[in-house]
Structure 1
């Protein structure tokens, strides 16, 4: 920070391709009452970064409208939901003892107080995020991870991908001994789903493709199904009794054709639409079998606390696919959009050329 009070950041001033991500020098934000100022060690990328930049979320009345996660973006905006770093100062009313602690920031902006609140906004979308040397966050959303065996890069991968994954698992009530099917298993959320479902003691079937199948198996999948072939048929062969829970970030045809894969009282949890949002299915397969289709966006504060406890104990081992300098944010997003990697892509504001 030096004496200048300025910091390097990457910001967007409009929707568009990677070219709209511009390097800027802006004032270091001052922590308001009840906030902490965090020096960013690592910030992980997510699909939401691409979709927020492109304005790909649509409106309830107009699915093609340019929009951020929960409505129009207030430009200019610094992206980046997933921050690990160190607290360098706090605003009034916050504990001074927090200064110097290594932390992970919960990026969700919640609708109410309390452990079961719903996320209605996101750091990097509805407020400035971590594609910068410093970021502010409410002290209530800052989790002390000083004791965690995970690296800063690994910690940065947790909030959105693992938070979303644990939210899906909790909302889908996945129990030990159940059979679970994970779609999009090589992506950030997908790998997290495989690891967390495995840690819970479920039998994990995962859908991925080509060269990534081995990596998904390594992440903990008991069986892998190749997306390039008939998925429903392969799942039937692997799990003839059906599956208890589907953890799905793909939707599209998989949900249309795959609903009959659920066992009685099965749960199909959807947290993304990588393969399309317009879905039709035979509703008889839903009500005759007491099945549930459950929407899941991110996590609650209670889910996030559970995740941080796991990370403090080193019960998850996030996979880092690649690390870029902060000023390479556009390149990093292009890499993410190509989907050639397994694991998470991370920016390091402290990495210099």
Structure 2
């Protein structure tokens, strides 16, 4: 099979499209013929080995060379074969998953307990846009943010992959939603359900006097101390990401924000979908919302499989509204 193999850290050019052996599913695994995947910051952080601080952390990309050789954390496709202990799936089933690696290939093995049936009303490309981005938004709002109907919710970074799902999910949970984005994405964010949209090029959301019960901070564009000003006295700040850097960011910024949690009256938490153990159940929840028409993937561009390096390069520019997906 063909796969993009990562042997050393660097720019998208280090991804080597080559032929490797097709994986064989273990007893509790399912072999998937990948029909679509997506690219996201998680992939290019591992590709570049940045921030360097992360190389020293458990679960990081690896100190001197990549621990993950085939990137791609989102997968949508068809079951090709199953291990002897698999009971839920059979060849031909259409599925999607967030295996955290292996999606940049024609085939990938995924554990049965990480796999879910693909939403019936989505194409493979649409389904591949869902797992990590929508899972992060769901974890941030429902589990860490403890969102409640009628709450005032602010999504900073409302036009990106996570943000477009977060706006829709917050509305589905009955909240009043304000999205923060750039001028060119104001209409998009409004079209997916935001009650109000703040153009950050014209207004600083931390200084307009508004107060929110929950702030989901995807962009990480303002200091944590400034973000606290927009929260109610018992509000919740959920850190998701932030601007990238070679040495510390966004990890350093998130750790600094979490360090202030014991010192302030508001809740300060982080949404980490990579370490979440309930991703299959979350995918099934998202499927129900998708099939009910409450949320839908917003796709900016779709690249062919051979152009994965170009897709990552485009994503690294930081201006993609919604998701960037790959047809395999």
- TM-score > 0.5 by shorter chain: yes
Per-residue Cα deviation, 1:299-324 (whole angstroms, up to 9, x for no partner): 44143432233234343210111111
Normalising by structure 1, report the TM-score. Answer: 0.82
Report what 2:122 is aligned to: 150
CA root-mean-square deviation: 2.5
Report what 2:60 is aligned to: 70
Report what 1:44 is aligned to: 38
C-alpha deviation, 1:215, in angstroms: 1.1
Task: Name the CA distance, whole Å, in 2 between partners of 1:245 and 1:96.
Answer: 38
Normalising by structure 2, report the TM-score. Answer: 0.87
Report what 1:303 is aligned to: 282
Report what 1:120 is aligned to: none
* Correspondence list, 1:1-353, <5 A: 7-58=1-52, 63=53, 65=55, 70-72=60-62, 74-75=66-67, 77-95=69-87, 98-107=90-99, 123-124=100-101, 129-145=102-118, 148-170=120-142, 171-232=144-205, 235-236=208-209, 239=210, 242-251=211-220, 253-274=222-243, 276-277=249-250, 278-279=252-253, 290-298=265-273, 299-301=276-278, 302-349=281-328
Per-residue Cα deviation, 1:269-300 (whole angstroms, up to 9, x for no partner): 0011227545578x999856x31111110144
Task: Name the CA distance, whole Å, in 2 between partners of 1:202 and 1:340.
Answer: 27
Per-residue Cα deviation, 1:47-79 (whole angstroms, up to 9, x for no partner): 111111111144xxxx37577953416556111
Task: Name the CA distance, whole Å, in 1 between partners of 2:179 and 2:89.
Answer: 44
Summarize the Cα distance change of 1:284–1:327 in structure 2 as closer, same or farther, 3 Å threshold: closer
Task: Name the CA distance, whole Å, in 1 between partners of 2:120 and 2:110.
Answer: 20
Task: Name the CA distance, whole Å, in 1 between partners of 2:33 and 2:293.
Answer: 23
Summarize the Cα distance change of 1:154–1:64 in structure 2 as closer, same or farther, 3 Å threshold: closer
Q: Secondary structure at the match of 1:94?
A: coil
Summarize the Cα distance change of 1:210–1:66 in structure 2 as closer, same or farther, 3 Å threshold: farther
Q: Give the length in aligned residue pairs.
A: 313
Q: Secondary structure at the match of 1:78?
A: coil
Summarize the Cα distance change of 1:175–1:22 in structure 2 as closer, same or farther, 3 Å threshold: same
